[in-house]
């Protein structure tokens, strides 16, 4: 839909508690009285429509917290009346791109199953930033849409088709391995997915020019996680459509790289399965093979994410990239450590840690490093196989999962693993309830800084 010209839009003025008095002095006396009558104090998320002398609304004052760039407009965008708006001025020290993106994130609606759509308010985007903001918005919405889609309408093959559709937009090649070929070449992915009538697959997307540096992306694509024979309780299973969130992040990052023409070539590997209960389900005490040749004793079928991801990581290593990044909704322990909003990451290169943290801070998408504690390798010991998939202790759950994955990454390849939650338990400013992108902007900004300098 074309954007209304700036001159036709209602002006939005961001006002903080410290700038309210100065803003008030610029208003007409009757407008100052209007503010006082409505007790407008510029609290974050508070807004007030300002009438002009003719009684028409041509400006809105929006209260905001100068330390919260995404929520400045994101808090009010779903509440404003339908119409066309523009940001009249960018407050000192604020990132205009992130302000505009925050508006979009607050506007998100998952309306696939709604009988009537909500048109809502629209924001005029300045031409210089329009492509960047829309690209980030579409990537975020892709993550949210894929996570929010019920598993009835998102099978492993449907996820593969979403990858094909995205790849076609940008001239990428997509290959899908399933059936007997998957069983032979990716035995861990097959073992987890064989309990479902909707067969598992390995999705590979390739893009870029040969002369550019090669990176690899990997994503956990567990379409739905019942826990397998270690069955989850109903309350824990309710949101397990989000367990493919890692694959949604990998695909959205791939889209950003392609759409914004980052000078890299990449291969993306998504392990797409359902962890279901049937007579074919893999069992606790089973010993399964992996693509790398290691054997894994299954002590908990609900620790399936690391099992499918290990085959994808091994395939990534075979491409000999200069960097591997994976996303996975892997452990509840990560949420216990850092809560739902800040995903931890692990890396085998200390110099990558500070760079990714800084990129997260710069993009208002915080991530935080956790250590790969070598001494905890003892928790992966198995008496019958090369390793176990789930430690006998509940201690250091996120670290133990990352250590498991590290065994499938060549030591000479830099690697970053993000353990994301991918979900908002309730609606907040710029974060509506449901699927959420976490670490996406941080990683993309990290890649931009690494490869566009």
CATH of the domain at 108: 3.40.220.10
Shared domain check, 72 and 211: no
pLDDT score for 7: 73
- pLDDT of 119 above 80: no
Under 8 Å between Cβ of 396 and 373: yes
**Residue 177's CATH number:** 3.40.630.10
pTM reported for the whole predicted model: 0.96
pLDDT of residue 129: 96
Q: Are residues 176 and 60 in the same domain?
A: no
Q: Is residue 1 part of a domain?
A: no
Residues 267 and 154 in one domain: yes
Report residue 54's pLDDT band, with 50, 70 and 90 as the boundaries. Answer: confident
* CA 93 – CA 53 distance, rounded (Å): 33
**Integer CA distances (angstroms), 295 to 82, 252, 263, 298, 427, in order:** 58, 32, 38, 10, 43
Residue 120: band (very low, low, confident or very high) from pLDDT cuts 50, 70, 90:
confident
Q: Which of 125, 146, 176 is the last residue before a domain boundary?
A: 125
Q: pLDDT value at position 438?
A: 98
398 and 287, same domain (yes or no): yes
27 near 40, Cβ under 8 Å?
no
344 located within any domain: yes
CA-to-CA distance for 143 and 15, rounded, in angstroms? 32
| Count of structural domains within the chain | 2
- Domain containing 145 equals 136-451
Q: Is the same domain home to 120 and 164?
A: no
pLDDT, mean over the chain: 95
Catalytic-labelled residue, pool 86, 220, 306, 407: 306
Residue 32 belongs to some domain of the structure: yes
Strand 423-424, strand 434-435: pairing: antiparallel
| 155 and 54 in a common domain | no
User: Quick check: is 213 in a domain?
Assistant: yes
Q: Decide: 354 and 264 in contact? Cβ < 8 Å.
A: no
DSSP run (H or E) holding 20: helix 20-25
Together in a domain, 366 and 424: yes
Residues 176 and 234 in one domain: yes
Q: Residue 1: is its pLDDT beyond 60?
A: no
Identify the residue whose tokens are 């993550």. 143
Render pLDDT for 353-385 as a digit per residue (tens, 0 to 9): 999 999 999 999 999 999 999 999 999 999 999
Q: What is the dihedral of CA 231, 235, 239, 244, to 10 degrees?
A: -20
The residue-averaged pLDDT of 272-292 equals 98
pLDDT recorded at residue 55: 83
Could you identify the residue written with the tokens 């110099």? 351
Mean pLDDT for the stretch of residues 53-63: 90
202 & 94 share domain: no
Helices marked H in 54-155 — which ranges? 69-74, 96-107, 127-148
Write down the pLDDT at residue 289.
Answer: 98
CA distances to 80, 89, 357, 371, 402 from 416, rounded to whole Å, are 40, 38, 12, 12, 10
Residue 46 lies in a domain: yes
- pLDDT at residue 231, rounded to an integer: 97
2-27 pLDDT tens trace? 445 667 899 999 999 999 999 999 99
Considering the candidates 24, 109, 164, 232, report the single residue annotated as catalytic. 232
- The pLDDT of residue 133 is 97
Number of H helices, E strands in the chain: 15, 18
b/e map of 13-51 (b: 16 or more CB within 10 Å)? bbbbeebbeeebeeeeeebeebbeeeebebebbbbbebe
Query: Contact at 8 Å (CB) between 348 and 414?
Result: yes
Q: What is the pLDDT of residue 191?
A: 98
Residue 130 lies in a domain: no
pLDDT of residue 2: 41
Domain boundary residue, one of 125, 152, 176:
125
Of 453, 339, 335, 330, the closest CA to residue 403 belongs to 330
- Give the residue among 348, 312, 315, 317 at the shortest CA–CA distance from 328: 312
Is the predicted pLDDT of residue 236 greater than 60, yes or no? yes
Average pLDDT rounded to a whole number, residues 308-337: 97
The DSSP output letter for 5 is P
149 with 104, same domain?
Answer: no
Question: Is residue 204, in this structure, part of any structural domain at all?
Answer: yes
Within this chain, do residues 86 and 180 fall inside the same structural domain, yes or no? no
Domain co-membership, 196 together with 294: yes
How many CB atoms neighbour CB 53 within 10 A? 8
Rg of the chain in Å (alpha carbons): 24
- The DSSP result for 321-366, as a single string, is -S-EEEEE---HHHHHHH-SSS-EEEES-HHHHHHHHHHHHHTT--
Q: Is 220 exposed, middle or buried (0-12, 13-18, 19+ CB in 10 A)?
A: buried
Q: How far apart are CA 253 and CA 259, in angstroms?
A: 10
Average pLDDT over residues 119-146: 95
- What would the mean pLDDT of 330-345 be, rounded to a whole number? 97
What Cα–Cα distance (Å) separates residue 134 from each residue in 173, 234, 260, 437? 24, 38, 11, 15
Residue 131 belongs to some domain of the structure: no
Q: What percent of the chain has pLDDT over 70?
A: 98
DSSP state string for 79-100: TSPSEEEEE--PPTT--HHHHH
Tokens of 415: 């690697």
Asked if 306 is an active-site residue, the reply is: yes
Q: What percent of the chain has pLDDT over 90?
A: 92
pLDDT attached to residue 3: 47
Greatest alpha-carbon pair distance for the chain in Å reads 82
Q: Is the pLDDT of residue 453 over 80?
A: no
Cβ atoms within 10 A of the Cβ of 92, count?
7
Query: Which residue, of 78, 103, 125, is where some domain finishes?
Result: 125
């Amino acid at each position: 839909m074309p954007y209304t010209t700036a001159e036709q839009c209602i002006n939005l003025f961001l006002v903080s508690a410290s700038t309210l008095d100065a803003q008030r002095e610029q208003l007409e006396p009757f407008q100052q009285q209007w503010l006082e009558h409505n007790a407008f104090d510029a609290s974050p998320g508070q807004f007030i429509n300002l009438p002009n002398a003719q009684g028409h609304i041509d400006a809105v004052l929006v209260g905001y917290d100068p330390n919260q760039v995404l929520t400045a407009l994101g808090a009010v965008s779903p509440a404003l009346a339908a119409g066309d708006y523009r940001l009249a001025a960018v407050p000192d020290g604020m990132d205009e791109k992130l302000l505009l993106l925050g508006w979009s994130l607050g506007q998100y609606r998952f309306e696939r199953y709604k009988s009537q759509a909500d048109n809502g308010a629209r924001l005029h985007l300045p031409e210089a930033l329009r492509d960047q903001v829309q690209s980030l918005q579409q990537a975020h919405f892709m993550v949210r849409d894929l996570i929010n889609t019920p598993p009835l309408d998102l099978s492993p093959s449907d996820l593969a088709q979403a990858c094909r559709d995205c790849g076609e937009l940008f001239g990428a090649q997509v290959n899908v391995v399933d059936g007997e070929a998957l069983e032979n070449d990716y035995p861990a992915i097959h073992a987890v997915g064989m309990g479902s009538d909707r067969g598992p697959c390995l999705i590979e997307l390739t893009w870029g020019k040969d002369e550019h540096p090669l990176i690899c992306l990997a994503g956990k694509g567990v379409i739905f996680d019942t826990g397998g024979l270690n069955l989850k309780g109903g309350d824990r299973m309710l949101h397990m459509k989000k367990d493919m969130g890692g694959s949604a992040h990998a695909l959205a990052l791939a889209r950003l790289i392609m759409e914004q023409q980052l000078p890299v070539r990449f291969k993306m590997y998504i392990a797409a399965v359902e962890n279901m209960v049937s007579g074919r389900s893999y069992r606790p005490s089973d010993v399964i093979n992996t693509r790398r040749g290691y054997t894994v004793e299954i002590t908990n079928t609900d620790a399936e994410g690391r099992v499918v991801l290990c085959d994808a990581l091994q395939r990534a290593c075979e491409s000999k990239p200069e960097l591997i990044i994976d996303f996975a909704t892997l452990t509840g322990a990560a949420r216990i450590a850092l809560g739902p909003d800040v995903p931890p990451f692990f890396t085998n290169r200390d110099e990558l840690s500070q760079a990714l943290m800084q990129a997260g801070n710069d993009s208002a998408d915080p991530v935080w490093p956790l250590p790969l504690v070598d001494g905890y390798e003892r928790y992966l010991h198995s008496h019958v196989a090369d390793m176990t998939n789930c430690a006998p202790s509940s201690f250091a759950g996120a670290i133990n999962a990352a250590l498991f994955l590290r065994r499938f990454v060549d030591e000479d390849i830099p690697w970053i693993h993000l353990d994301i939650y991918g979900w908002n338990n309730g609606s907040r400013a710029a974060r509506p309830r449901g699927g959420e992108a976490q670490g996406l902007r941080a990683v993309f900004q990290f890649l931009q800084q690494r490869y566009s300098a």
